[in-house]
């Protein structure tokens, strides 16, 4: 079997279009994970035991089960309870939930890295808990963990093909549909790999750049 | 601030009305009643009874681990007593009375009482992501509800008091230890506390930077009527600035005397031994 360049060029626009869906899933999933992870991290560090224990259990539970299983669970089980979301929304939800348990631990590392004296200084200035988080702790906790968050962004991007399994026509799903019509797998799958490579490599370089930038602080 | 100013010899002008001192003289600013505090198995404070009248400058001295810093941290609500009560100007700190029981205070009232107290730390604890001026403005804007313009005016004035108005837009990491500590003093003053707690404020400084910080505190003592609790290892400074000294050892107050008496004619052997040890260094 030889690589049919003409065929590859013919399906390229369709695949590039599907890349937009992959992008959207990544952006929405990451937005979810960046916000959700922060909320989880703060709950995890609550001084009220039931809250921190519940958050801790949730984080460990999500981290200890495969993303694919979570994806199937949301896609096949939720509708049984009357919550029928579109495949795309379900996919974004799964990516966001899964990755927020990882970003939560990243944030936690950042928050723990803020010296205790900063909390105490906030107390001497009579700041409330919300003000302390917003003005003192998070502005110091987040910059050092931005590279780690970036790594998870790249990671999530590379996990989006899993959404093909729940009928989302993202890049891989579209390629498989094409292949199903033509019975040629070499070209579509190769192009998928090439597109991922072309997007992941610069992102990884960007993350390394961020690492260097924040390391010097 | 109305800007009435006076100068101390060789010092920085201090706005006289900086700290409101409406409480009549003779009112108790800080009162500890049989306060106990342990960290794990270590009994840091073993029954502290202490009464600090408004306007007094109290120096707290003693060997490390004697519990001096813990007294300040309890008064600042950074720690909670295991038993006993603390009152600030007659109001319970961190607790309230319900019937004949004491329960944790509600956040609102706690903040109201805590607002009378300011603290300066050994390690400055400036906010590294903010400039000197932003550090000083933060509390007034967010806890006192001043406008940014008002807080800015107050902040610049206080940076002037500590001799650092030209460093307003500089981040703490670009300042020397002495300068950082002076910004920290300005930050605490910006809250207009009636009671100031100084926790070994020169212990983390290089020797040549100690003087500038002590000068600022001396000026404050001369120019304002703030109540001050000063934990320090600088005996000469303690003798100069304080009206009264307590010597602590192993979680108890061993000796409590006017500073003129304690430094020249200590009554207890443990006080004598401690003073001999630190003065001979």
Q: Which domains does chain A have, with CATH numbers?
A: 5-216 (1.10.3720.10)
**Long-range contacts, stretch B23-28, CB < 8 angstroms, 24+ apart:** B23/B54, B23/B89, B23/B194, B24/B54, B25/B53, B25/B54, B25/B55, B26/B53, B26/B54, B27/B53, B27/B54, B27/B89, B27/B90, B28/B52, B28/B53, B28/B54, B28/B87, B28/B89, B28/B90
Are the beta carbons of A124 and B188 separated by less than 8 Å? Answer: yes
Q: Take residue A97 and report the two structure tokens written for it.
A: 């939930």
- Residue A23 has a pLDDT of 92
The reported pLDDT for the residue numbered B16 is 41
Question: Which residue of B127, B143, B187 is in closest CB contact with A136?
Answer: B127
Nearest to B191 among A117, A125, A128 (CB): A125
Q: Which of A127, A124, A131, A116 is nearest to B195 (CA)?
A: A124
Distance CA B74, CA B77 (A): 5
CB contacts of B138 in chain A (<8 Å) are: 125, 127, 135
pLDDT at residue B1, as a whole number: 40
Asked if residues B236 and B230 have their Cβ atoms less than 8 Å apart, the reply is no
pLDDT score of A211:
81
Query: What's the pLDDT score for residue B279?
Result: 81
Asked if the C-beta of B109 comes within 8 angstroms of chain A's C-beta atoms, the answer is no
User: Is any Cβ of chain A less than 8 angstroms from the Cβ of B162?
Assistant: no
pTM here is 0.86
ipTM value, please give it.
Answer: 0.88
Q: Which residues of chain B have pLDDT under 70?
A: 1-26, 281
Q: Spell out the per-residue pLDDT of chain A, length 217, in tens.
A: 788 899 999 999 999 999 999 999 999 999 999 999 999 999 999 889 999 999 999 999 999 999 999 999 999 998 999 888 899 999 999 999 999 999 999 999 999 999 999 999 999 999 999 999 999 999 999 999 999 999 999 999 999 999 999 989 889 999 999 999 999 999 999 999 999 999 999 988 988 888 888 765 5
Continuous segment of H or E residues that includes residue A93: helix A87-112
For chain B, what is the mean pLDDT? 89
Say which of A126, A127, A140 has its CB closest to residue B129. Answer: A140
pLDDT digit string, tens, across residues A44-73: 998 899 999 999 999 999 999 999 999 999
């Amino acid at each position: 079997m030889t690589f049919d360049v003409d065929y590859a060029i013919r399906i390229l626009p369709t695949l590039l279009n599907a890349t937009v869906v992959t992008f959207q899933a990544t952006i929405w999933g990451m937005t979810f994970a960046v916000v959700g992870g922060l909320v989880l991290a703060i709950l995890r560090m609550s001084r009220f035991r039931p809250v921190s224990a519940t958050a801790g259990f949730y984080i460990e539970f999500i981290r200890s089960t495969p993303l694919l299983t979570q994806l199937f669970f949301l896609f096949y089980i939720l509708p049984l309870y009357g919550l029928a979301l579109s495949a795309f929304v379900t996919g974004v939800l799964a990516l966001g939930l899964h990755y927020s348990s990882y970003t939560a631990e990243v944030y936690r590392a950042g928050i723990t890295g803020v010296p205790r004296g900063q909390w105490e200084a906030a107390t001497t200035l009579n700041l409330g808990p919300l003000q302390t988080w917003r003005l003192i702790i998070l502005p110091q906790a987040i910059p050092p963990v931005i590279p780690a968050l970036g790594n998870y962004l790249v990671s999530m991007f590379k996990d989006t093909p899993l959404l093909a399994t729940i009928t989302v026509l993202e890049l891989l799903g579209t390629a498989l549909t094409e292949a199903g019509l033509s019975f040629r797998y070499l070209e579509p799958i190769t192009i998928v790999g090439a597109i991922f490579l072309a997007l992941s490599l610069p992102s990884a370089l960007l993350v390394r750049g961020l690492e260097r930038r924040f390391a010097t602080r | 601030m109305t800007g009435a100013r006076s100068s101390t010899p060789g010092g920085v002008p201090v706005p006289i009305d900086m700290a409101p001192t409406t409480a009549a003289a003779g009112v108790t600013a800080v009162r500890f009643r049989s306060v106990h505090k342990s960290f794990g198995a270590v009994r840091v404070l073993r029954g502290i009874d202490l009464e600090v009248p408004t306007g007094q400058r109290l120096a707290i001295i003693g060997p490390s681990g004697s519990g001096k810093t813990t007294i300040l941290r309890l008064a600042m609500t950074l720690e909670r007593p295991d038993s006993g009560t603390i009152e600030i100007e007659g109001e319970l700190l961190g607790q309230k009375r319900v019937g004949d029981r004491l329960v944790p205070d509600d956040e609102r009232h706690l903040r109201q009482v805590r607002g009378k107290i300011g603290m300066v730390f050994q390690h400055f604890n400036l906010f590294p992501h903010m400039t000197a001026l932003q550090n000083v403005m933060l509390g007034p804007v967010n806890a006192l509800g001043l406008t940014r313009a008002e807080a800015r005016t107050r902040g610049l004035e206080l940076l002037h008091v500590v001799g650092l108005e030209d460093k307003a837009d500089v981040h703490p990491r670009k300042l020397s230890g002495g300068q950082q500590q002076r910004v920290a003093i300005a930050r605490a003053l910006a809250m207009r506390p009636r009671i100031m707690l100084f926790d070994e404020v020169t212990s983390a400084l290089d020797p040549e930077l100690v003087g500038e910080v002590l000068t600022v505190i001396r000026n404050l003592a001369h120019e304002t009527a703030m109540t001050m609790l000063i934990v320090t290892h600088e005996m000469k400074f303690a003798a100069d600035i304080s009206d009264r000294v307590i010597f602590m050892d192993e979680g108890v107050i061993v000796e409590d005397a006017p500073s003129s008496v304690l430094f020249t004619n200590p009554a207890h052997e443990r006080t004598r031994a401690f003073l001999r040890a630190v003065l001979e260094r």
